[in-house]
Amino acid sequence: MDPRKIKIIEKLSPPKNKKGLQRLIGLFNYWRKFIRGYSQHTYNMRQLLSENAEFKLTSECDRELEYLKFCHISNPILAPIDPDKDFIIMADAAVTSGCGYQIMQYGEDNKLHVVYYGGRALTDAQKRWTAAQLELASICLALREIGCFAIHRNVVVLTDNTSVLHLGSWIPQSQRERRLLTYLMQFKLTLKYIPECRNICADTLSRAFDDMSEEDKREFMPTSSDEKEDFILSVSDNSGGVNLPLNPSLETPHDGYSGWTCYLLTPESQDGQQEITDETIKFQADYFRNLGATTQITAVTPEADNDNHDSDNLAGQDDEQRDQEPALADDSPEPLLDCLPPITPTDFLNDADFKDIYSFILDGGFDGDEKIYRRLLLTTEQYFIRNGLLYKLALPRKSKLQRAYPVSERLCIPTQFRGQLLKLYHDKLGHYSVQRLFLTLYSIAFWPNMYQDIGSYCKTCDVCLRTKRNSGHS
């Protein structure tokens, strides 16, 4: 038997008050039909629940508690997992304590039996999560324990949190919620609401950490590996427990250490790409050449980091790289020109959105409506022309942020090039959502009604419509 499936029952500590005893007896009552002599083996504990009784646990109470714990981790209450049957999960989360869950299956006698008890104590950071997020985390923790079986079966989740019932219309408010919801999407779940008084088993396990000693409680705290995973699904092939590069031509530096894997992400295949070595990956920063001609990423393993001579070697490499990097000139290639066809002044003069402002800045002439002329006078200071290209100066909208962030130069994109730009940044670089794609392009590109155009493009993307979850928003 896997000791993890009964660990939280074995670590149940005697309650410190009547409320804790009531929760504990509630757990035992749920399975009382499988416990022989249940009334006799709970007599002394039940006497402490009398109105005028002093709450003081005796040796008889301790013996009753040990007997009941033994019954819950043995047959007939506890049964092995049957991979050919569906699962029922009772999950609950206490904001100040932890998460608890109980996984059950129907046995040959058509009665429910436990196949797994589980729980997780909360860190100080997790205690600041919302109740709905903790409930989601509790369900995810339960599913991760039986993931290889549950992925092929129907799973019924019993919860007392009404927010969890609306997974189909849940709008994630953070990356954490997005990861949790994405993890749950791979299972065939049926969520049902039960009142808190009937969810007593999961409630007792979630609050069991209040009565535990600090030493026992630390055993249920998340480890560094648990926090690192955080329900992130792997998108790379695994072989022998070692992550393999998506591109077989890329090797892992220092073959003796498998913790580092180097990837090269390029939107399109390019000719004349530089050679990739074991120690250093060099790639041309086609879209960020204003940061330098060549960018180097050096993989440093923990073993190398502990060597006293590595700091001197790395410092020497940085000095050599700094000497080799050319100084930036005013006429350096623009970051967007390499992924778009060449933009000429004629393109701006023929574009309906930029022809007025371009010609006005170029020669000061304008023949048109007086209303448009007044608008040009007010906005001219925000534009400038460099190397025949039109740019718009952008400042953060909040005055406090203007002190921290510099002015950004946004390249004005004529109409005929906007579709190619959106196709590159959306289709080739990850099919981002409307908000994320807009924030990516906001600092480097500009055209009127930019957010609306990005929204229309994302809503008509065939890949996004087929694969992404419909959460009721763009």
Q: Which token pair is 135?
A: 């409930």
3-state secondary structure 36-101: CCCCHHHHHHHHCCCCCCCCCCCHHHHHHHHHHHHHHCCCCCECCCCCCCCEEEEEEECCCCEEEE
Is residue 273 scored above 80 in pLDDT?
no
- Would you place residue 262 in the very low, low, confident or very high pLDDT band (cuts 50, 70, 90)? very low
Higher pLDDT, 239 or 79: 79
pLDDT digits (tens, 9 = 90+) for 175-222: 888 889 989 999 999 999 999 888 999 999 999 999 898 998 989 988
Is residue 312 scored above 90 in pLDDT?
no
- Would you place residue 311 in the very low, low, confident or very high pLDDT band (cuts 50, 70, 90)? very low
The pTM assigned to this predicted structure is 0.52
Q: What is the pLDDT, as a whole number, of residue 401?
A: 64
Angle at Cα 281 formed by Cα 277 and Cα 286, nearest 5°? 135
Question: What is the rounded average pLDDT of the residues 65-87?
Answer: 93
pLDDT digits (tens, 9 = 90+) for 381-402: 889 999 889 999 887 666 666 6
- Cα-only R_g, the chain: 31
Q: What is the pLDDT, as a whole number, of residue 301?
A: 41
- Would you place residue 314 in the very low, low, confident or very high pLDDT band (cuts 50, 70, 90)? very low
- Would you place residue 8 in the very low, low, confident or very high pLDDT band (cuts 50, 70, 90)? very high
> What is the C-alpha to C-alpha distance for residues 296 and 76, in angstroms, rounded to an integer?
62
Domains and CATH numbers, the chain: 3-229 (3.30.420.10), 238-324 (no CATH), 345-467 (1.10.340.70)
Of the chain, the percentage scoring pLDDT greater than 70 comes to: 72
Amino acid letter at 243? N
Q: What is the pLDDT, as a whole number, of residue 462?
A: 85
> What is the C-alpha to C-alpha distance for residues 103 and 112, in angstroms, rounded to an integer?
10
Question: What is the rounded average pLDDT of the residues 297-320?
Answer: 45
φ and ψ of 463, to 5 deg: -65, -45
Residues 6+ apart with CB under 8 A from 362: 345, 385
> What is the C-alpha to C-alpha distance for residues 95 and 127, in angstroms, rounded to an integer?
6
Question: What is the rounded average pLDDT of the residues 279-305?
Answer: 40
Count the Cβ atoms, other than its own, within 10 Å of residue 398: 10
Amino acid letter at 365? G
- Would you place residue 226 in the very low, low, confident or very high pLDDT band (cuts 50, 70, 90)? low
Higher pLDDT, 116 or 308: 116
Is residue 169 scored above 60 in pLDDT?
yes
Q: What is the pLDDT, as a whole number, of residue 250?
A: 38
Report the phi/psi class of residue 415: left, alpha or beta, with left for phi > 0 and alpha for psi in -120 to 50: alpha
Question: What is the rounded average pLDDT of the residues 344-371?
Answer: 85
Quote the mean pLDDT of the chain.
Answer: 78
Question: What is the rounded average pLDDT of the residues 238-252?
Answer: 41
- From the list 437, 392, 439, the residue with the least C-alpha distance to 413 is 392
Sign of CA pseudo-dihedral 151, 152, 157, 161: positive
Q: At what angle do helices 18-30 and 59-72 cross, to 10 degrees?
A: 40
- From the list 49, 50, 45, the residue with the least C-alpha distance to 12 is 45
Question: What is the rounded average pLDDT of the residues 72-91?
Answer: 94
pLDDT digits (tens, 9 = 90+) for 441-462: 888 899 999 999 999 998 888 8
Q: What is the pLDDT, as a whole number, of residue 293?
A: 39
Higher pLDDT, 248 or 1: 1
Residues 6+ apart with CB under 8 A from 118: 4, 5, 8, 100, 101, 102, 103, 141, 142, 145, 205
Q: At what angle do helices 415-422 and 450-459 cross, to 10 degrees?
A: 50
Q: 22-26, 109-113, 224-228, 428-432: lowest mean pLDDT where?
A: 224-228
Q: What is the pLDDT, as a whole number, of residue 244?
A: 41
pLDDT digits (tens, 9 = 90+) for 14-51: 999 999 999 999 999 999 999 999 999 999 999 999 88
Higher pLDDT, 68 or 333: 68
Q: Regarding beta strands 238-239 and 188-193, do their DSSP bridges make them parallel or antiparallel, or are they unpaired?
A: unpaired
- Would you place residue 338 in the very low, low, confident or very high pLDDT band (cuts 50, 70, 90)? low
> What is the C-alpha to C-alpha distance for residues 27 and 114, in angstroms, rounded to an integer?
12
Q: What is the residue whose two structure tokens read 């709450």?
A: 55
Q: Per-residue b/e over 28-63, b at no fewer than 16 CB within 10 Å?
A: bebbeebbeebeebbebbeebeeeeeeeebeeebee
Q: What is the residue whose two structure tokens read 């060099």?
A: 282
Q: Which token pair is 101?
A: 């869950």
